[in-house]
């Protein structure tokens, strides 16, 4: 029997992306088709999304005279095989100078609570059958921006509808003042410890974790970490209380989008059988970042520039890396002080460090194809995707032993080297010394070409497509639907 799933998300690659959530929300629905799950994805019709869909026929399928203060419509369309529902609300998601969550200065939009409550309320409506001819058997809400969907479903027309909430990053919780509550349109009883109330205010993610039938996160290790006081960011108690309703399913990657043998962003295609094409990509990378030629490895960083990602640790390790003959290319955007510090390091080490600030999808692909190692010293990492792209492209991950990085990389210790299964290097998180030691190890291993090539090839052979993980999601949905039927 085909299951109908409504996926609710604030980002979806290739329409709008600030991080890995977009990659997952873009790829998982397509992978679910193989498991007889028919997905529609609901997301805001931001101007960026409307521009990306220019030329795609969009049909109005539902309308609101007043949705959180303004008229709104739901538009339906298809893009690259993905069935989309777009929440078109000029007052909430119309043109603004900035990104989906914040203005150009990085300040969150002050009406974010209203914007994402609206997305969630509409999700519950659509799931319950607001659109003629379609309703959902199960709902999957991603991150705090969609998590309130679970509350609207529970207090809506089909309260029995199963809802899965996925945590992509517990650091972003959607916490707002209690004054927002009366405007959410939820019953007064929902403002309670077992509802949306959170430390006296309103917690969107907290509400989702409370009301969801299942809570998933994007790796088994992160699922463990968030149940501890150190990793739980205030929500560990609730997560522990939810018992085995909480589980970790590691992310996959879109192996068509990220395929070095067909990738149009590369200077030259290659595969693990024929690695020769990497040389042209390395040259293209050196040129693009103004690097001098060198014998040592090129390390890459492709990242949001934040404390989570350990960018400060990289800054403290640059002289060490360069001193050992390494070079570094960075593509990132985020914290202004970190951007400036990176640009400063590039000026101090001309020809050895190259920095591009901003967001550049094709350049991210070229870097994975031309660099030797990718540095990911995250303090915490729910899953991480750049190490998976690195593995597939033969750019060896040098990463912190945390969250999904632990679950996806096999450290090149002697046991793994002897067994022929090492795929990267892992180090203790949150420590500059540990990062510098890992950089030293990487540079030494790189100097032993047979070993380095073996690590690279082993990583490239690992299959990080969505097949396994999408099957786990499909099994979870099926189980929840069966349980709801017997309630």
The contact set with ligand ADP (CB under 6 A) reads 19-21, 23, 302-304, 331-333, 359-361, 364, 383-386
Residue 163 binds which of ligand ADP, ligand GLC, none (CB < 5-8 A, kind-dependent): none
By CB atoms closer than 10 A (0-12, 13-18, 19+), residue 421 is: middle
Residue nearest to ligand GLC (CB): 20
Strand partners, 332: 303, 357
Q: How many Å apart are CA 31 and CA 53, to the nearest integer? A: 21
By beta-carbon proximity to ligand GLC, the closer residue of 50 and 408 is: 408
Tell me the closest approach of the beta carbon of residue 358 to ligand ADP, in angstroms.
6
Residue facing ligand ADP at closest CB distance: 20
Binding of residue 311 to ligand GLC (CB under 6 A): no
386 is in the binding site of which of ligand ADP, ligand GLC, none (Cβ under 5 to 8 A by kind)? ligand ADP
Among the listed residues 293, 285, 280, the one whose alpha carbon sits nearest the alpha carbon of residue 356: 285
Burial bucket for residue 340 (CB in 10 Å: 0-12, 13-18, 19+): exposed
Q: Under rule CB under 6 A, which residues in 251-270 are in contact with ligand GLC?
A: 251
User: Between the CA atoms of 21, 24, 30 and 32, what dihedral angle is there, to the nearest 10 degrees?
Assistant: -120
d(CA 129, CA 126): 5
Q: Give the x/- contact pattern for ligand GLC in 212-251, rule: CB under 6 A.
A: ------x--------------------------------x
How far, in Å, CA of 116 to CA of 148, rounded?
8
Residue with tokens 């070229």: 366
**Site stretch for ligand GLC (CB under 6 A), options 31-39, 175-183, 381-389, 461-469:** 381-389
The angle that helices 467-485 and 20-32 make with each other, rounded to 10 degrees, is: 70
The yes or no reply on residue 169 touching ligand GLC (CB under 6 A) is yes
Q: Which helix (H) or strand (E) holds 312?
A: helix 311-315
Q: Residue 363 Cβ, how far from ligand ADP at the closest point, in Å?
A: 7
- In terms of CB distance, is 311 or 385 closer to ligand ADP? 385
Asked if residue 382 binds ligand GLC (CB under 6 A), the reply is yes
Nearer to ligand ADP, 19 or 325 (CB): 19
State yes or no: residue 165 binds ligand GLC (CB under 6 A): no
Q: For residue 173, what are its two tokens?
A: 């919780």
- Residue 34: CB minimum distance to ligand ADP, A: 23
Edge-first strand order for the sheet with 3-8 is 59-67, 70-79, 82-88, 37-44, 3-8, 138-142, 163-167, 214-217, 246-248
Q: Tell me if 21 contacts ligand GLC by CB under 6 A.
A: yes
What is the number of alpha carbons within 13 Å of residue 451 lying toward its C-beta? 18
- H-state helical runs in 46-203: 47-52, 90-93, 112-128, 143-147, 149-154
99 belongs to the binding site for ligand GLC (CB under 6 A): no
Min dist CB 430 to ligand GLC, Å, is 16
Residue 17 Cβ vs ligand ADP, minimum distance, rounded to whole Å: 7
Is residue 168 within the footprint of ligand GLC (CB under 6 A)? yes
SS (H, E, C) 408-475: HCCECCHHHHHHCCCCEEEECCCCHHHHHHHHHHHHHHHCCHHHHHHHHHHHHHCCCCCHHHHHHHHH
Using the rule CB under 6 A, is 408 a contact of ligand GLC?
A: no
Q: How far is the CB of 167 from ligand ADP (least distance, A)?
A: 12
Sheet of 197-198: strand order equals 175-176, 201-203, 197-198
Residue 195 partner contact from ligand GLC, ligand ADP, none using kind-dependent CB cut-offs of 5 to 8 Å: none
218 binds, among ligand GLC, ligand ADP, none (CB under 5 to 8 A by kind): ligand GLC
- With H, G, I as helix, E, B as strand and everything else as coil, classify residue 4: strand
- Asked if residue 405 binds ligand GLC (CB under 6 A), the reply is no
Name which of ligand GLC, ligand ADP, none residue 272 binds, using a CB cut-off of 5 to 8 Å depending on partner kind. Answer: none
The footprint of ligand GLC (CB under 6 A) covers 19-21, 24, 168-169, 218, 251, 381-385, 404
């Amino acid at each position: 029997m085909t299951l109908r799933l409504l996926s609710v998300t604030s980002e979806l690659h290739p329409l709008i992306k600030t991080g890995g959530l977009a990659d997952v929300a873009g790829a998982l629905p397509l992978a679910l088709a193989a498991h007889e799950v028919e997905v529609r994805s609901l997301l805001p019709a931001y101007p960026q999304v409307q521009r990306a869909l220019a030329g795609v026929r969009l049909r109005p399928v539902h309308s609101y005279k007043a949705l959180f203060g303004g008229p709104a419509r739901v538009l339906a369309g298809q893009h690259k095989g993905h069935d989309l529902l777009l929440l078109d609300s000029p007052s909430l998601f119309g043109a603004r100078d900035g990104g989906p969550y914040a203005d150009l200065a990085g300040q969150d939009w002050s009406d974010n609570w209203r914007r994402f409550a609206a997305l969630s309320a509409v999700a519950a409506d659509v799931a319950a059958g607001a659109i003629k001819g379609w309703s959902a058997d199960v709902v999957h809400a991603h991150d705090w921006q969609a998590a309130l969907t679970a509350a609207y479903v529970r207090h809506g027309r089909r309260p029995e509808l199963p809802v899965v909430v996925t945590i992509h990053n517990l650091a972003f919780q959607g916490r707002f003042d209690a004054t927002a509550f009366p405007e959410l349109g939820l019953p007064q009883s929902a403002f309670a410890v077992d509802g949306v109330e959170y430390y006296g205010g309103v917690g969107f993610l907290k509400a989702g974790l409370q009301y969801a039938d299942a809570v998933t996160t994007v790796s088994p290790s992160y699922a463990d970490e968030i149940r501890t006081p150190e990793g739980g960011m205030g929500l560990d108690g609730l997560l522990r209380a939810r018992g085995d309703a909480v589980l970790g399913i590691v992310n996959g990657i879109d192996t068509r989008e990220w395929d070095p043998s067909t990738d149009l962003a590369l200077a030259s295609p290659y595969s693990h059988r024929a690695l020769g094409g990497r040389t042209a990509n390395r040259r293209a990378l050196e040129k693009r970042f103004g690097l001098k030629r060198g014998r040592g490895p090129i390390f890459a960083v492709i990242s949001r520039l934040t404390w989570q990602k350990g960018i400060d640790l990289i800054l403290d390790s640059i002289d060490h890396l360069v001193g050992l003959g390494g070079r570094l290319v960075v593509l990132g955007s985020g914290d202004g002080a970190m951007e400036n510090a990176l640009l400063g390091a590039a000026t101090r080490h001309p020809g050895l460090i190259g920095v591009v600030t901003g967001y550049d999808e094709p350049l991210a692909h070229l870097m994975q194809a031309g660099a030797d190692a990718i540095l990911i010293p995250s303090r915490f990492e729910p899953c991480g995707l750049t190490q998976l792209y690195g593995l597939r492209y033969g750019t060896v991950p040098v990463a912190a032993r945390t969250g999904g990085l632990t679950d996806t990389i096999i450290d090149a210790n002697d046991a793994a080297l002897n067994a022929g299964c090492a795929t990267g290097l892992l180090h203790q998180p949150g420590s500059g010394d540990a990062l510098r030691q890992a950089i030293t190890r990487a540079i030494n291993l790189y100097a032993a070409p047979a070993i380095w090539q073996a690590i690279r090839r082993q990583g490239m052979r690992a299959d990080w497509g969505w097949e396994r993980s999408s099957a786990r999601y499909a099994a979870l949905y099926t189980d929840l639907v069966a349980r709801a039927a017997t309630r």
